[in-house]
Chain A
């Protein structure tokens, strides 16, 4: 495991910074252009969620380099209000119907692994991985 790099999300402009950092990391791991674009879109969704619903938080990136496989891990954390009903936000059509974008189900589709822990009143942590194929 190598070092973690993070971007604080406070204003909308920070979303672009997070995308840039994540894309550079993905490129250096060896992801192709299609997967780079998918990873950047997933980062956008995560960062937008923080910006819109939590106010502030951060997005961190890690390179995974294990014996059998390589990949990128994205960790989004915030100290916002948390998500009371995770099943509901993970449901297709829940966030997209409001025109807010791909939502968390979209992130899950763009990536290979997805995990979310949320405590109402305390905040949310989302960890997601994309493997290099």
Chain B
């Protein structure tokens, strides 16, 4: 408070100058004074008090009514001062929380990191961007010595921190399944039990698991209520929806998941996504799945990684650079 006392004289001089000349320069200086006071966390009632003291010193003969009225003004400032202090405290707390969340987010990235594998005969692209700091979407590639490629893509209903926590659990339980049970149907069956047992009943997870077998050139897959992806049939130059059925993970503990397969020929593509892509919103309306597909089509001539990045950029711009939901897109193309 000592600094204010120091400035009190300054304030009085300024006030005097302004009353005499009504010049803009004193107004500019008092603006500086007010900013400095805020830096020093000085409350409005103290400024009012400074004003009262300055005025009484400059004009000792002030009418008694005017003098008294200042006490009234001072009293009315107290709550504003409190609100100001509370605002300061909350702002500090917010900064703390922000940095805590960013530590958690980078830890999540380390925990859930997956490497885009180099698989002979396949061109793979993947992008996953969270709407907020933490990602409730998840994708993961698994390769083994038989050169098969496993692809998991999942979305926790809800976003933010709880979704991200649930995802870490799913990744680690998937890692612990024995290699003999790595077919899509049993992976989803096992995960379903893990989710049902360990995750809050209000939280659901959708997931798609695919397994590409290069020797048979077949893509096997199962889905737990996940947003359907697309299959591109190069021979007839047509995209079609990858048809699946299966209950979300975590609804009942005895859900079973049918397994399907598609024969993959040269230049065919598998496109997997989360609802952050298909439920992209433009203004007030949700985009149609057909529109999503037409955007994807614009970029599929590019290498897979470049294509997914361009599609993401396209939707990011469409939504004014503010994602409403976590966005994940994977494109896999069989090369000649």
The chain A residue sitting closest to B1, CB to CB, is: A133
Q: A-facing mask of B41-59, CB < 8 A → 1, else 0?
A: 0000110010010000000
A33-41, A54-62, A81-89, A113-121: which lies at the B interface? Answer: A33-41
A41 x B78 contact (CB < 8 A): yes
- Say whether, besides A37-B45, A92-B89, A110 and B82 are in contact (CB < 8 Å): yes
The chain A residue sitting closest to B93, CB to CB, is: A92
Q: B-facing mask of A25-50, CB < 8 A → 1, else 0?
A: 00000000110011011000000000
Q: A-facing mask of B165-185, CB < 8 A → 1, else 0?
A: 000000000000000000000
A33 x B74 contact (CB < 8 A): yes
CB within 8 Å of B: which A100-119 residues = 101-102, 105-106, 109-110
Task: For the complex, give the distance between the alpha carbons of A59 and B86 in Å.
Answer: 25
B71 x A33 contact (CB < 8 A): yes
Measured between beta carbons, the chain B residues less than 8 angstroms from A34 are 45-46, 49, 74
Measured between beta carbons, the chain A residues less than 8 angstroms from B89 are 92
Task: For the complex, give the distance between the alpha carbons of A9 and B142 in Å.
Answer: 70
Measured between beta carbons, the chain A residues less than 8 angstroms from B85 are 109
Measured between beta carbons, the chain A residues less than 8 angstroms from B45 are 34, 37-38
**B residues with CB within 8 A of A:** 45-46, 49, 52, 71, 74-75, 78-79, 82-83, 85-86, 89-90, 93
Whether A96 is near chain B, meaning CB under 8 Å from some CB there, is yes
Measured between beta carbons, the chain A residues less than 8 angstroms from B71 are 33, 37
B79 x A93 contact (CB < 8 A): no
Measured between beta carbons, the chain A residues less than 8 angstroms from B93 are 92
10 closest A-B pairs (Cβ-Cβ)?
A: A102-B82, A41-B78, A106-B82, A34-B49, A37-B75, A37-B78, A92-B86, A92-B89, A92-B90, A109-B85
A37 x B86 contact (CB < 8 A): no
- Interface size of A as a range: 10 to 19
Q: List 18 A-B contacts (CB under 8 A).
A: A33-B49, A33-B71, A33-B74, A37-B71, A37-B74, A38-B45, A40-B75, A41-B78, A92-B86, A92-B89, A93-B86, A96-B86, A102-B79, A102-B82, A102-B86, A106-B86, A109-B82, A110-B82
B147 to chain A, nearest CB (A): 57
B86 x A38 contact (CB < 8 A): no
The chain B residue sitting closest to A105, CB to CB, is: B86
The chain B residue sitting closest to A45, CB to CB, is: B82
Task: For the complex, give the distance between the alpha carbons of A37 and B75 in Å.
Answer: 6
A127 to chain B, nearest CB (A): 20
B90 x A93 contact (CB < 8 A): yes
Task: For the complex, give the distance between the alpha carbons of A41 and B82 in Å.
Answer: 10
Task: For the complex, give the distance between the alpha carbons of A92 and B49 in Å.
Answer: 26
A106 to chain B, nearest CB (A): 5
Task: For the complex, give the distance between the alpha carbons of A102 and B87 in Å.
Answer: 12
Measured between beta carbons, the chain B residues less than 8 angstroms from A38 are 45, 78
A101 x B79 contact (CB < 8 A): yes
Task: For the complex, give the distance between the alpha carbons of A110 and B79 in Å.
Answer: 10
